[in-house]
Amino acid sequence: MPKVGIVIDKLFVDHDNGMGHPETSERILAIADMLRHTGMRDEVTILEPRDASKEEITLVHAPEYFDRIASTRGKPRVFLDADTTTSPASFDAASRAAGGMLSSIDAILEGRLDRAFPFVRPPGHHAEADKAMGFCLFNNVAVGAAYLTQVKGVERVLIVDWDVHHGNGTQHMFYGRSDVLYFSTHQFPFYPGTGALAETGSGEGEGYTVNVPLKEGMGDAEYLKIFSEILGPVIEQYRPGFILVSAGFDTFFEDPLGGMRVTPEGFARQARFMLDAAGKHSGGNIAFILEGGYNLDGLWISTKEVLEELLDKKRSDYDTGGGATAADDVIEQVKKEHSRYREF
């Protein structure tokens, strides 16, 4: 059985968005319950959490923005935008969430783990360099990618974002760079409004942003065909040294904030695709990190399915069978848009 690490911490429960907010501490409690109920808590390595430093977080965030979030520490609710707030523990939780990404990366690079999945909150992929938004304070996956390239010397990092929402912050942080390739499947048009097909990067980063904007209602078959026909060739030609997955579970078919139809088995198959790709192209170096997912039952069962794949307790088949899907048109559009950068 591979060595799989997780990060889970009381601070992720203490972060409080207020009554009725969908991004709730119950999300972490549901995952903790899943770990106990399935016995997988005893099968994973629970990493000692650490806080990301200001120096590490400002690899992607403006120092003034870091100071702004730090200034909320210990204070009653501070509204950063209409749906993104802090509580007294939020700065510490956000620092530890980013640190959970970094401790996972370190453990993999040092050979103490084979793969990891930090279960953190607040999520990160909407956070811009100088702005909180979409429930996100610090951009955890972006901090991880910058740490890999700028501190650890990894030449190429791939970020795969399968959240129902486009990761605007992650895209913008690496839009002009080729050492981080950002790949996103997302409902479109939808919050936050970014992620159009023609957004492909700029300057040195041209061709290193790959957006697959999808109409609502897409399910397992569509996502797996996108992975097979677009993401597969992207990974093969990019040859990343490390893969990071922004694993949002709000494409679940009963998620209150999304409009997609992915099943728990679909998440398992997506995870297996990513694990096999990492084994083939990045020396097995891969870490998932929690983003969205707001149906608690869906989060419980879907994270279970993915963790079983990470532990190799099962190996799901992701063969698409080549049948027609509702995503076929957008698949062809993405191939056409990116044909000047790579072969499909």
Tally Cβ neighbours within 10 Å of residue 176. 14
Confirm whether 126 is a catalytic residue: yes
Pairwise CA distance, residues 261 & 211, whole Å: 19
* Burial of residue 32, with CB atoms counted within 10 A of its CB: 0-12 exposed, 13-18 middle, 19 or more buried: middle
Query: Which residue in 99, 73, 132, 112 sits closest to 8, CA to CA?
Result: 99
Strand pairing class (115-118; 4-7)? parallel
| Residue linked to tokens 């559009």 | 333
d(CA 104, CA 285): 11
Give the up-direction half-sphere exposure of residue 89: CA atoms within 13 A in the CB hemisphere. Answer: 16
Q: Considering 125, 126, 172, 186, which one is annotated as catalytic?
A: 126
Q: 3-state secondary structure string, 159-187?
A: EEECCCCCCHHHHHHCCCCCCEEEEEEEE
Give the distance between the most distant pair of CA atoms in the chain.
Answer: 55
| Cβ atoms of residues 181 and 238 within 8 Å | yes
Q: Which active-site residues does the annotation give?
A: 126
